[in-house]
Structure 1
Amino acid sequence: MEIVTDTQTPTALPDVESFRLRRLVQRFREEDELDVVGTQVDLIELGAHLDGNPKAVLFCAAGPEKAQVIGNAFGSRRRLALAFDVAEQDLRAEVSRRLQTPIPPVEVPSSAAPVHQVVWTGEQADFTKLPVHLQHSEDGAPYISASIDITRSLDGKKRNVGYRRIMLRGRQEAGIDLIAPSDLRALYAEYVQRKERMPIAFVVGSHPADGVAATAMSAVADEVDLMGALRGAPVPLVKCVSIDAMVPADAEVVLEGFLDERGWAESEGPYGEYLGYYGHMKTNPVFHLTAITMRRDALFQTITIGGKSLDCTDTAQLAALRTEAAAWSALTTAVREPIAVYATPSCGGMFNLRLSLHQRNPGEVRNAISAIMASSADVKHIFAVDSDIDIFSDAQMEWAFATRFQADRDLVVASGFRTMPLDPSLDGRRTGAKAGFDLTFPFGWNRETEFRVPEPPKLRSAPKQTVQEALKTGPKHFLELMEAVGSRDGRDVLIELDSVRQELGVTRAADGRYQLSN
């Protein structure tokens, strides 16, 4: 059955437009963060347009139905920062701040929910009516990759939100990945033990705030509250049409259905995974589709995951924010003055983490490294630097690594840690090793007198003197002589300094300053 409504949202009801994905895509266009493919393209072509593309891509006519599809929407830190209205370097701090204040959702009626403008149930609920594309050359089937899952525990006390890929098996069946440890895996196991179906809804087409919430690590009972926290506003929820669940009323598309009671029963994969390599075939649960609801002008979303250019993928950028928030939480209990953390997206957003800090006491760098190793962030390599290094600069990090690190003194290695099973370097092991790289100056090193960093000269105004008069007041650097003379050239100072040398004699102090011989 298909139902199409044309009800406008009353102004008294909660806002169902401000956090719409399409609205954010328009801002990406204004900020030159969007490529637009205006011509019709076959679905097989979408992957090539998205792979390694630093911009979001809007397909105006994808497939024979000429559907609108957005990809790479979350695939850069700048676009995520735009979504949160902050500068890129302030993004982690803003996310951590918002997560401290969960905001409960509010319910809206179906008549006011844009995602219920079109409703397909029965035989009309058909995966193949959506512009789902083959993302990687060896994937097992077309995948829906931008799907946020919403479920409840068997006792109804916990509502869980996560990110899950969906491999199509036909018009109304799909496989989902539930191999890795997760809240959803644990909740589903309870249903399987009771031989009951698990109601589940997947949201396709969401604001980045919802995506960050779906990947966040939190102990709150209702993880939709995290969506509200990251939006800074209550999430408008609407009851599903075919299952006992509630979903964001402002979503683009929602897939309703259930995971059957058989548990891990059918093959799923392979798939280009978030670490840049193909995953193996797996045995996973089966999702049965019972309804599709959507906006009349729904914008279908696909996210980028695998490949060589991980820094341009949605998953790496989302993972980086999650890693940074978890690492920061651990750091604030381990050292007095952490400055910043940055998980590089090119490593998948979790394995390599940079941190800067002010060393207040001997051993604080080791404390910081150890805290992150033991935290819920799945970090393998921690690179610690002093506060004068910009951790967002690859060049400065390379410089610190090259000039402040001694392997026999500054390398911290430990083993036996929990790992991510997809890490190919494990070679079948169930636990892994971690390393910390102390790229800081030794504690107490006086950088005012040793290994100072050169900077461009900056002239300050000073009372005008001759070179001789200036030197009579004490030793001077060449720049100080230029300031005394009022020179913006320097060559005139050289000439005058040479005259003083010949007349009175000039020597050099140990720090390079010029001084009169007598």
Structure 2
Amino acid sequence: MSKYDLRYALKLLSKLDHQLIETEVEVDPMGELAGVYRHIGAGGTVQRPTKEGPAMIFKNIKGFPNASVVIGLMASRKRVGYLLNCLPERLGFLLKESVNNPIPPIVVPNSQAKCQEIVYRAEDEGFDIRKLIPAPTNTLEDAGPYITLGMCYASNPDTGESDVTIHRMCLQSKDEISIFLQPGARHIGYFRELAEAKGQSLPISISIGVDPAIAIGSCFEAPTTPLGYDELQVAGAIRNEAVELVQCLTINEKAIANAEYVIEGELMPFIRVREDQNSNTGKAMPEFPGYCGPANPSLPVIKVKAVTTRKNPIMQTCIGPSEEHVSMAGIPTEASILGMVDKAMPGKLLNVYCASSGGGKYIAVMQFKKTMPSDEGRQRQAALLAFSAFAELKHIYLVDEDVDPFDMNDVLWAMTTRFQSNEDIIMIPSVQCHPLDPSNQREYSSKLKAKGNACKTIFDCTVPFCLKEKFERAKFMEVNPKHWVSDFE
């Protein structure tokens, strides 16, 4: 079996300072666990006080004596760099190259699959996913326990091509899970529509607790990974080793062989459920913009056939608006933008950062280098390409090569000293963006033509090429600070 799994990642972090902590103190998965981690290391768009901190393992979960829960594994760009053996500022480039050099997954025998060490079948007496899977709630208002880091794997019923994505899934009953499939945004939603048109169910596996390379790679979207591109190939390229799959036991689909948990089920045709039917709060769970997503009145249902696990399984979860979402959504977006722009104007785009304040989806900082007079204006063309590469982007900040795109204070400095609103704002009104932004509603602005529309905006904080010599930053002596501070990093 491959060495790359969740336990390998945790072992790696345990050897590093301030990257992983454990607790044996009992914690309630219903609201309390996320409430604790909010203070330890959630970051992102979580309501303050919060901060970026270590990942955390809770080893004493109320109601689940044989399980533990890990949270925040990727809630730090620096930590993602450790986990993927890459400098944090080069992660977008690593993923871009991985998309371009895919390694397809392979299938291993069931006898080798660690995810099937323990098997619970739906026909077994007392079977109840709510007692088998320690899925937390982020808040006490959540619609129910949520699987936030489940790798959903399904196949096109016409072609057999497979896809892996992450979706919001709520445990609704002993053997039913609702799944939020954003219309037109994910290939598994398209597969479900094809199956339903034929009156058929769609087999689907949900693998929880996997190698971080799989979780990151699964967040790529079209056009970077078009229909028919299995994103598990990205993880294979990152590790230079094929992801191992195994045939499920009760459905005609595959799952990730060394996952901690696998849920086997079928997306049922013509069956819908109200997301908050068990809580009646009107809320789903906190989403990446920092607000609770509204409960959906009608969601597709996964009928669970079996749950398989490793011995003493580790449930992996995240806080919806945390820095973990920024890592998973933002870094693949950076890779997509780098790839798209580099094809049009090689060497001009130096780096991209999908900032925490945008949840990894809404904001991109693009570091652009102008080397000749004819480059003036091309930075704005690059921003337009970025909008086409990733539809959910709302704001793009363009900066010069002497501005650190990963330091928002530096970006705002550029916006203060290299930007005039009446000259350097480019607005593109009423473009489809993302429905979870509460300002993307007609109630907020009557000029928006539909829910999810936004006025996309480019903030050009670059110096006009003809004035570059007048905007040279103060130069300091180059020294090695370790001569004076030996432990300086």
Task: Tell me which interval the TM-score lies in, with the shorter structure as reference length.
Answer: 0.7 to 0.9
SS of residue paired to 1:279: strand
Deviations 1:439-490 (A, max 9, x none): 111112241xx3432233479xxxxxxxxxxxxxxxxxxxxxxxxxxxxxxx
Is 1:440 paired with 2:440?
no
The partner residue of 1:327 within 325, 337, 346 is 337
The partner residue of 1:403 within 401, 406, 417 is 417
Deviations 1:325-369 (A, max 9, x none): 222122213434111100102211011111111113222122112
The partner residue of 1:386 within 386, 400, 408 is 400
Code of the aligned partner of 2:63: P
| Corresponding residue for residue 209 of structure 2 | 205
**2: CA distance, partners of 1:451 / 1:202:** 53
Structure 1 stretches of 4+ moved >6 Å? none
Deviations 1:19-52 (A, max 9, x none): 1101211222222211211222222321112225
| Corresponding residue for residue 82 of structure 2 | 82
| Corresponding residue for residue 487 of structure 2 | none
Distance change >3 Å, CA 365–CA 224, structure 1 → 2 = closer
Aligned-pair identity (%): 26
Distance change >3 Å, CA 263–CA 191, structure 1 → 2 = farther
The partner residue of 1:184 within 159, 184, 188 is 188
| Corresponding residue for residue 35 of structure 2 | 48
SS of residue paired to 2:343: coil
Deviations 1:354-398 (A, max 9, x none): 111111322212211222222235211111111111111222212
Contact 1:256 1:292 in 2 (8 A): yes
Distance change >3 Å, CA 338–CA 221, structure 1 → 2 = closer
Cα displacement (A) at 1:226: 2.9
Distance change >3 Å, CA 50–CA 292, structure 1 → 2 = same
Contact 1:125 1:289 in 2 (8 A): no
Cα displacement (A) at 1:277: 0.8
Distance change >3 Å, CA 409–CA 60, structure 1 → 2 = same
Structure 2 unpaired stretches of 5+: 42-52, 277-282, 443-447, 480-489
Contact 2:9 2:212 in 1 (8 A): no
| Corresponding residue for residue 368 of structure 2 | 357
**2: CA distance, partners of 1:355 / 1:281:** 35
SS of residue paired to 1:424: coil
| Corresponding residue for residue 261 of structure 2 | 253
Structure 1 unpaired stretches of 5+: 1-14, 460-518
| Corresponding residue for residue 95 of structure 1 | 95
Distance change >3 Å, CA 244–CA 142, structure 1 → 2 = same
**1: CA distance, partners of 2:414 / 2:468:** 17
SS of residue paired to 2:270: coil
SS of residue paired to 2:149: strand
| Corresponding residue for residue 280 of structure 2 | none
TM-score between the two structures when normalised by the length of structure 1: 0.81
Code of the aligned partner of 2:200: E
Distance change >3 Å, CA 317–CA 180, structure 1 → 2 = farther
Code of the aligned partner of 1:372: A
Deviations 1:399-432 (A, max 9, x none): 1111111111111111132211111111234222
Rg larger in structure: 1
Contact 2:370 2:376 in 1 (8 A): yes
TM-score between the two structures when normalised by the length of structure 2: 0.85
Is 1:119 paired with 2:134?
no
- Which one has more relative contact order, counting CA pairs under 8 Å at least 6 apart? 2
**2: CA distance, partners of 1:175 / 1:425:** 26
RMSD (CA atoms): 1.9
Distance change >3 Å, CA 457–CA 293, structure 1 → 2 = closer
**1: CA distance, partners of 2:240 / 2:330:** 21
Code of the aligned partner of 2:33: L
The partner residue of 2:475 within 432, 455, 463 is 455
Is 1:417 paired with 2:428?
no
SS of residue paired to 1:95: helix
**1: CA distance, partners of 2:238 / 2:306:** 28
SS of residue paired to 1:135: coil
Distance change >3 Å, CA 401–CA 222, structure 1 → 2 = closer
Code of the aligned partner of 2:394: K
Is 1:296 paired with 2:311?
yes
Code of the aligned partner of 2:213: A
SS of residue paired to 2:339: helix
**1: CA distance, partners of 2:95 / 2:381:** 24
Contact 2:285 2:320 in 1 (8 A): no
SS of residue paired to 2:236: helix
Is 1:170 paired with 2:170?
no
| Corresponding residue for residue 486 of structure 2 | none
Count of residue correspondences: 437
Code of the aligned partner of 2:163: N
Contact 1:239 1:245 in 2 (8 A): yes
Code of the aligned partner of 1:288: K
**1: CA distance, partners of 2:23 / 2:343:** 48
Code of the aligned partner of 1:118: I
**2: CA distance, partners of 1:156 / 1:333:** 30
| Corresponding residue for residue 20 of structure 2 | 34
SS of residue paired to 1:192: helix
**2: CA distance, partners of 1:316 / 1:441:** 29
Cα displacement (A) at 1:69: 0.9
Contact 1:381 1:436 in 2 (8 A): yes
